[in-house]
Structure 1
Amino acid sequence: MDITDDTKPTTPATLVDDGPPAVRRRLRVITVIATFGGLLFGYDTGVINGALPYMTDDLGLTPVTEGMVTSSLLLGAALGAVAGGRLSDARGRRRTILTLAVLFFVGALGCTLAPTTAVMVVARFVLGLAVGGASVTVPVYLAEISPAERRGALVTRNELMIVSGQLLAFTSNAIIARVGGESGGVWRWMLVIATLPAVVLWFGMLVMPESPRWLASQSRFSDALEVLRQVRSRQRAEAELSEVSALAVKDEREKLGGWQDIRAVPWVRRLMFVGFGIAIVQQITGVNTIMYYGTQILTDAGFAANSALTANIANGVISVLATFVGIWLLGRVNRRPMLMIGQLGTTAALLLIGVFSLALPAGDGRAYAVLAMTVTFLAFQQGAISPVTWLMLSEIFPMRMRGFGMGVAAVVLWLTNFVIGLVFPSLVSGIGISNTFFLFVAVGLVSLTFVKLYVPETKGRTLETLEAELRARFS
């Protein structure tokens, strides 16, 4: 099943005008508010990096319970992804994001106030439900409300907010650690900051519109047209609704929308296989070993504890800068080659981290060499692999099951993340940091082969044109 054809289709007539300034402003506001879900995703996954050493002392964590605290969020995210995708297909993207904002607030508050390890694990699981739901619902919402020619740039704004949230977590962790010193409970201040963007997300989404494509999938065509007129010129909104409504009627006739389609419809089943592969490719690089355990990796390389916290900010900075570059590239190059270049870059960086950790003597030389390679790794990961992953997963599934399809793929992504987060401390303890990264190098080469053989090109198509192409190719 080689589906590597990169031929671009003729640009549809609906892609001809940008709309008046008020329309473009409205689209920008919608993007900013919705991507607060990405900011929370980033902060809540990144904050554990600096909070964990202080939490370990206060809660008496062992290597096993340390892995449980870290990975309980990931297990929650796996469940949250499929539940959030299902909910967004059934109840709407906007209503689902409002529910997620409440979960983000409750989970962050629960983590902040947790008196024991057990309560912390439960609160992190609740937070994971919100993270997983946001990882699916926000990109789908943005993909469905964006014009085709701007979809790549607008959907990947969510990735920019994710890495900005991680940078905010790394920076606030370092500041709070220096101000609070060794005082007990300093990690609680690190965790409570996440309640603020949750409030912004909830109030902001109260005044945002529903996805026009979800409205069309529910046969609410007049409501869909009203939303499209907010973010398109009048002529383009009417032309786009015609295309969307025709596909909605077709999907309704075929009853696309759930587990039964994955089992019974061959082209949907094959598409899910590709979605699972893309999800695994993004995680199997080991990116979240850097996000969750970056401070420990740098400490092992030779940095002092406080210096490692400060040096880890470089990882956050390069992630943000690389994502800006990725957004710029997505408007100019095809998705699939970008994913392959990202795989090559991350695999080479991981190989060098392993070599430097093994060959260089302990001290500043090894510490800065490892830091340089983690920064290089994140440049390729956040500048190519991550934005392309979340964008393609929001694009490739049929309209009536887009949230569900992406949710199931995201379950695979989060479960892969969960397994890596859970076993990484034990792997480092058992076989050493160099051999652990060599293991990631081996699976990186397998991932590169998968992308070359199976991942389709999605750039330059409307979602409706892309669905028709994938239906024909996989049938």
Structure 2
Amino acid sequence: MEQITKPHCGARLDRLPDCRWHSSMFAIVAFGLLVCWSNAVGGLILAQLKALGWTDNSTTATFSAITTAGMFLGALVGGIIGDKTGRRNAFILYEAIHIASMVVGAFSPNMDFLIACRFVMGVGLGALLVTLFAGFTEYMPGRNRGTWSSRVSFIGNWSYPLCSLIAMGLTPLISAEWNWRVQLLIPAILSLIATALAWRYFPESPRWLESRGRYQEAEKVMR
């Protein structure tokens, strides 16, 4: 069998002109960022939870802080795990954690259970954000990596106003009991679509494969 030696993927990626392949990676990552608005939805559902008698000032503070704590932990370990498992696998793993915690959280029987789900949600989201940006920049050529990253951030930042608009539309249509649950399920469903797209179209980073000595796989991606 022919042995593939070091393909120098980094240099080859940097020489590539902007093409459809770059646009595909951009579309997947940008969509993944756009729909992972679980952090934004937290503040929006507190009004419904308070109306239902689920929360007071103390639990509201805990609810808000626990997501940040989870994101802090996720950001801390997300990159480490991503370095070991690969960008694609980490992307899918963290999306799975993020989605599962949103779905389970949407059916929470009480505030304590929801707060626990919010912590896990934060872990998944914090790790996901780190991995998405790390993986995306590894595909982009060095000469305009900042431009591509800015575009991704621009799309991702629309998640907050989009989430707010959806909440405004749902509030007069759905009772408080179901409103907050639906607001958690919507990004979960959209994130599931993003995960399916990543599973189908998001290849492993050739830079990462090359760094692990998996030259044949890196060469296959480059083709």
Any unmatched runs of 5+ in structure 1? Answer: 1-11, 230-475
Q: Percent identity?
A: 23
CA distance in 2, matches of 1:194, 1:59: 25
Amino acid at match of 1:25: R
Cα displacement string for residues 299-350 of structure 1 (whole angstroms, at most 9, x for unaligned residues) = xxxxxxxxxxxxxxxxxxxxxxxxxxxxxxxxxxxxxxxxxxxxxxxxxxxx
**Is the 2:207–2:218 contact (alpha carbons within 8 Å) kept by the matching residues of 1?**
yes
CA distance in 2, matches of 1:188, 1:14: 43
**Is the 2:66–2:118 contact (alpha carbons within 8 Å) kept by the matching residues of 1?**
yes
Secondary structure at 1:52's aligned position in 2? Answer: helix
Cα displacement string for residues 115-147 of structure 1 (whole angstroms, at most 9, x for unaligned residues) = 111111011111111110111100000111101
The match for 1:222 is: 216
- CA 1:172–1:71 in structure 2 vs 1: closer, same or farther (change >3 Å)? same
CA distance in 1, matches of 2:169, 2:13: 49
The structure with more radius of gyration: 1
CA distance in 2, matches of 1:102, 1:33: 16
What does 1:215-294 align with in structure 2 at a 5 Å threshold? 215-229=209-223
* 1:36 alignment partner, one of 31, 35, 45: 31
- CA 1:210–1:55 in structure 2 vs 1: closer, same or farther (change >3 Å)? same
Cα displacement string for residues 90-129 of structure 1 (whole angstroms, at most 9, x for unaligned residues) = 0101000111121121111122111111111011111111
- CA 1:78–1:15 in structure 2 vs 1: closer, same or farther (change >3 Å)? closer
* Structure 1 residue ranges, 4+ long, deviating more than 4 angstroms after superposition: 12-17
What does 1:414-425 align with in structure 2 at a 5 Å threshold? none
Q: Answer yes or no: is 1:95 the counterpart of 2:94.
A: no
- CA 1:80–1:100 in structure 2 vs 1: closer, same or farther (change >3 Å)? same
**Is the 1:49–1:170 contact (alpha carbons within 8 Å) kept by the matching residues of 2?**
no
CA distance in 2, matches of 1:183, 1:46: 18
**Is the 1:40–1:104 contact (alpha carbons within 8 Å) kept by the matching residues of 2?**
no
- CA 1:59–1:36 in structure 2 vs 1: closer, same or farther (change >3 Å)? farther
- CA 1:214–1:14 in structure 2 vs 1: closer, same or farther (change >3 Å)? closer
CA distance in 2, matches of 1:216, 1:139: 19
Secondary structure at 1:209's aligned position in 2? Answer: coil
Amino acid at match of 1:18: P
| Post-superposition offset of 1:184 | 3.1
Amino acid at match of 1:199: L
Q: Answer yes or no: is 1:84 the counterpart of 2:78.
A: yes
CA distance in 2, matches of 1:96, 1:14: 21
Amino acid at match of 2:138: E
CA distance in 2, matches of 1:59, 1:158: 39
Give the RMSD, CA atoms, in angstroms.
2.1
Q: Answer yes or no: is 1:171 the counterpart of 2:170.
A: no
The match for 1:110 is: 104
User: What TM-score results when the alignment is normalised by the length of structure 1?
Assistant: 0.42
The match for 1:18 is: 17
The size of the alignment, in residue pairs, is 212
Cα displacement string for residues 250-277 of structure 1 (whole angstroms, at most 9, x for unaligned residues) = xxxxxxxxxxxxxxxxxxxxxxxxxxxx
**Is the 1:85–1:136 contact (alpha carbons within 8 Å) kept by the matching residues of 2?**
yes
The match for 2:199 is: 206
* 1:147 alignment partner, one of 141, 145, 149: 141
* 1:194 alignment partner, one of 168, 187, 197: 187
